[in-house]
Chains A and B, each alone.
Chain A
Amino acid sequence: DTAVSQTPKYLVTQMGNDKSIKCEQNLGHDTMYWYKQDSKKFLKIMFSYNNKELIINETVPNRFSPKSPDKAHLNLHINSLELGDSAVYFCASSQWDPAHPYNSPLHFGNGTRLTVT
């Protein structure tokens, strides 16, 4: 059973196109994230959603728009793709515990490798 699953695994597209990446988690977690990992393997948070509400929106171009139809899904839509968007995008999830806030590890999906040509 895959806990956090992303589709597609690979995405090759041309500049200017619009594309989406889907993420689903079956862990029952209430918080989901999108991270971007660049060619130097540096992981940087993009968005965090808790119970379908946006919590964190780091300095990300507004061409990137996350959408959370329910607690188990967080999709990422990217408009007008640019060369610099090429990276691996990871979805992750965690469970917020009021008794132990910030003490829940994140579980990551296997990533989507986006190549913009």
Chain B
Amino acid sequence: EDKVVQSPLSLVVHEGDTVTLNCSYEVTNFRSLLWYKQEKKAPTFLFMLTSSGIEKKSGRLSSILDKKELFSILNITATQTGDSAVYLCAVRRGGADGLTFGKGTHLIIQP
């Protein structure tokens, strides 16, 4: 059975800190790993990673995938209160559509 494990499950930091969120996975026929941010409503797409070692960047957020060690990290630098959310990691495998999600990291940024 596919498994996606995120850590930590929750994290409280102060504004301006840098955070690293972790995602490890076990999935047959891996195709891609995706990160989503969920505030109050719909998960919103952040990144999709398919190749090892290539960093994806968007503003203060960046992510990288290691297909050999089967994990990904999501970094957020100079955090702001608006970064407070649940960050979800999901994997997609070949042969079946849809995503398998981890349980998420609940990130709280204190002013």
Contacts and interface: CB of A to CB of B under 8 A. Distances in A.
Interface in B51-96: 86, 88, 90, 92-94, 96
Nearest to A111: B41
Contacts of A110: 41-42
B68 to A, nearest CB: 20
A55 B42 CA distance: 23
Contacts of B3: none
A80 to B, nearest CB: 26
Contacts, number: 63
A72 B38 CA distance: 24
Contacts of A90: 42-43
Residue in A94, A96, A101, A106 whose Cβ sees the most chain B Cβ within 10 Å: A106
B12 interface: no
Nearest to B101: A43
Interface residue range, chain A: 20 to 34
A40 B9 CA distance: 11
Interface in A16-37: 31, 33
20 contacts: A31-B97, A41-B103, A42-B101, A43-B90, A45-B99, A50-B97, A55-B96, A55-B98, A90-B42, A94-B97, A101-B94, A102-B92, A105-B34, A108-B36, A108-B42, A108-B44, A110-B41, A110-B42, A111-B41, A111-B42
